[in-house]
């Protein structure tokens, strides 16, 4: 799960996917990262933590990190929250195989749409909307890959 700073969208996506996998008894490695470096080591935005808690998830122990080129080897799927992040991820890819792992997360809900998950950082009211978008997308990710 990749967004810009790894404090709003991608921590929510990580928490949602991990919870859904646990409920289904699936043991996948899930992580999140940001394309930027500004928040490395910081916990998720308090509004993301609060939104997750509202829906029974605890993401408070996550810490922001920056996406590294080795992530494109280590993970089978790299899900971008928006087009800018998608392009940044592709710039890190060294091979066609690595590039083929990168997808826009909302394409699981609306294939081929390349819609962005809006960044709620500047919109206090956007966190619930983002949570529900990611919740549906994570459900579809699991359905497609099981």
Q: Which helix (H) or strand (E) holds 141?
A: helix 126-145
pLDDT band, very low/low/confident/very high, at 58 (cuts 50, 70, 90): very high
Task: Give all domains of the chain, ordered by start, each with its CATH number.
Answer: 2-145 (3.40.50.2300)
Q: Tens of pLDDT along 3-17?
A: 999 999 999 999 999
pLDDT at 78 over 90: yes
pTM of the model: 0.97
pLDDT at 123: 86
Active-site residue identified among 19, 45, 119, 135: 119
**DSSP reduced 3-state for 25:** coil
Active-site residue identified among 8, 9, 45, 47: 9
| 35 and 10 Cβ atoms separated by less than 8 Å | no
> Mean of the pLDDT values across residues 37-51?
98
Residue 119 is among the residues annotated as catalytic for this protein = yes
Residues 6 or more apart whose CB falls under 8 angstroms from that of 1 comprise 9, 10, 11, 13, 14, 17, 30, 31, 32, 33, 79, 81, 105
Give the residues across from 33 on adjacent strands: 2
Q: Tens of pLDDT along 113-142?
A: 999 999 999 988 899 999 999 999 999 999
Q: Tens of pLDDT along 26-35?
A: 999 999 999 9
pLDDT at 124: 81
pLDDT at 8: 98
């Amino acid at each position: 799960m990749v967004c810009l700073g790894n404090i709003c969208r991608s921590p929510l996506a990580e928490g949602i996917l991990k919870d859904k996998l646990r409920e289904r008894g699936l043991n996948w490695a899930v992580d999140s990262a940001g394309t930027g470096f500004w928040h490395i080591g910081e916990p998720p935005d308090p509004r993301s933590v609060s939104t997750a808690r509202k829906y029974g998830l605890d993401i408070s122990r996550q810490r922001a990190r920056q996406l590294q080129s080795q992530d494109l080897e280590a993970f089978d799927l790299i899900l971008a929250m928006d087009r800018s992040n998608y392009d940044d991820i592709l710039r890190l890819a060294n091979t066609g195989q690595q590039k083929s792992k990168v997808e826009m997360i909302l394409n699981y809900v609306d294939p081929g749409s390349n819609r962005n998950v809006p960044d709620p950082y500047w919109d206090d009211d956007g966190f619930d909307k983002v949570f529900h978008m990611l919740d549906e997308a994570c459900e579809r990710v699991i359905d497609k890959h099981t």
